[in-house]
Structure 1
């Protein structure tokens, strides 16, 4: 009787979540996060020190545009050379080129290096995301992706300010060397990942086919509404608070990113138990309420509380939309999902920042934040058309 109670049937046992292969994948996740975020704000500083104020912004734009363009073609690269080789190429392109900036500060070199690095980051994000999806049991995908988000989120959260601090203390060149070292050392983990070479499914379900599949584009569009709002927050909340206490904007951004990272964990566990589709409406509602609350710029409590609500909603939507999209493709289609989701992330943030930049001058910051909150309305219209996949 006792043994029957204590022994769990294999049929009811939950599959193991963290495997040796997933731990190895964490190494490349941390390496690529450091490789992207550590110099992200340092390169514009480097360009400004070289005497080009406009070049500082242009370098970042070049990085982001190259990232989005490469994300859309990476699934075809995966189909040709496989996940491991694609991840290897991406890590090399992300890390090695920045060493060029230790020898020259020409604006041409800065822009070219950023274009190459953006391409590398896109390949790492798409190919790495596809590999990660294959390493997580489908029954625990939400929880697994939440852990992955934590592994990537903490280094990026720390690396961005650390890069600026180190550049101010020791100069930009040491930051570039550390960036290259962290990224290239992550290459050592790639051979330990499972071999996934030349998948016919990936080539049959490329980005163009994925964009014609409404089961993928609907979650991506819903997520785009949230990322557009995130672009507004990270770009214009500090500017909106310039005449107020300096600590409010900093605290709000920290609270927002922390809430997003933490809530992804709970969202993943809930999604595994009850279905990710049920989380989309609460996620959208939280992001809208958070944006509307941040419009009360005269109230630090409203701004910080709104940032917490927005971060929570954003974390929910990050996890739920990605889980839904992975569940709706056959094996081998993970690269397509990763490409579309990452493109929605980057394009949404860029579009939100651009649109808000045009609106702020005409209607001011509070009205712009309220208008951004209203993006939830068309997103809810898309959500109404969502149906559980067969």
Structure 2
């Protein structure tokens, strides 16, 4: 894709679409909903560990949620035909909010996995609808900045809530965290229902050219899988690998800040230099950061872990923005639902695979070995990043 106007369409508005009421409501609803996901990403594994789960079981808490997320995303072709995007978002947020207090019933692995699965279904609906709504509300000339702002609304909860949730759970208790996230997510329902626009996408998955529509999205899918594996491993095992709550929370905060820096930084320039140009250095930043975390989780000074976590976060955030914009452009205005679904499946599937795979490595070897495996897997996607950037 050469430097040109994106094929993604958006509504015409009198003022800047980036400041429209509907887009701002979408950003707020996204922040509230993703706050549930981000906060509990590390808290639920801690809850399961407190209940006696080993490394494999702890990893499964994230893996099952992400698996359910991907499973719900596989149903998006049907859901797009019967629900508007804003209603799909609202139902997903409601599922997440209603399920969250059920964690307090038991910290045994079975009940924790069951609740995580329900939350995963809701989360899958929220993120696919949110990405597609962004493409629907923002015109082509501003899609890079629009995706960057949407990325900020998904990334800020990690900055504010992920480290805070870990600290509160370990120092105060789990119940306040679960109840606060219930209120957060349920507040997103009336918020997103105020969005105007975002009808049913024009995707028709039953068409015979589905494989042809998926092929241009494959490189972005592979890249997102690779970097997301690291997210599943870090969010699940970093608080356990670094025993000191404050250090672990600081490292998670640094990672989250890095994600937002990466997404906003790339989003600000992709409309000018063309999307996809920064994906290779972003992948390398993610791999180097993860390798640094592996060293620090072993014999290195753990107090420096936030620096490595920040480097991983910058790379991860930049890859997110680059791949989503490229995939939306390649899918075209009638394929925004498909592109959003494929991108989110890679993100969530990678996080789930990372948690389960690295959980098995932790059980067989160590946290250090798990982070080394993650760094290698991220670095393995560098040839794809190089090849695909030459096509853009």
TM-score (norm 2): 0.79
Q: CA deviation at 1:42?
A: 5.0
- Structure 2 alignment gaps of length 5 or more: 1-13
Please say if 1:329 is aligned against 2:328: no
In the alignment, is the contact (CA less than 8 A) between 2:47 and 2:107 conserved in 1?
Answer: no
Report what 1:185 is aligned to.
Answer: 187
Question: How far apart, CA to CA, are the structure 1 residues paired with 2:189 and 2:361?
Answer: 44
Q: Write out aligned runs for 1:1-390 (5 A).
A: 16-41=17-42, 53=53, 59-100=61-102, 104-105=105-106, 110-164=112-166, 172-199=174-201, 201-204=202-205, 209=210, 213-237=214-238, 241=242, 249-297=248-296, 298-300=299-301, 303-359=305-361, 369-376=371-378, 378-386=380-388
Cα 1:30–1:292, aligned 2, differ >3 Å: closer, same or farther? closer
Structure 1 length normalisation: TM-score? 0.80
Gaps of 5+ in 1: 1-12
Could you tell me how far apart the structure 1 residues matched to 2:340 and 2:122 are? 15
Deviation for aligned residue 1:131? 0.8
The offset of 1:256, in angstroms, is: 2.3
Q: How many residue pairs get matched?
A: 372
User: Measured at CA, do residues 286 and 45 of structure 1 come closer, stay the same or move farther in structure 2, by a change above 3 Å?
Assistant: closer
Looking at structure 1, the residues matched to 367 and 53 of structure 2 have their Cα atoms a distance apart, in angstroms, of 25
Classify 1:211/1:157 alpha carbon distance in 2 versus 1 (closer, same or farther; 3 Å).
Answer: farther
**Is 300-309 or 285-294 further displaced after alignment?**
300-309
Structure 2 vs 1, CA of residues 267 and 387 (structure 1 numbering), >3 Å: closer, same or farther? closer
- Partners of 1:250 and 1:326 in 2: CA distance: 34
Measure, in 1, the Cα distance between the counterparts of 2:172 and 2:237: 29
Aligned-CA RMSD value:
3.6
* SS of aligned partner of 1:277: coil
Checking the alignment, whether the CA contact within 8 Å between 1:46 and 1:105 is kept in structure 2 is no
Which residue matches 1:9?
none
SS of aligned partner of 2:34: helix
1:120 to partner: Cα distance: 0.9
Report which of the two structures shows the higher radius of gyration computed on alpha carbons: 1
Greater RCO, CA 8 A, separation 6+ = 2
Shift of residue 96, structure 1, vs aligned partner: 2.1
1 CA distance for matches of 2:248 and 2:170? Answer: 22
Report how far residue 205 of structure 1 moved.
Answer: 7.6
Stretch moving more, 140-149 or 363-372: 363-372
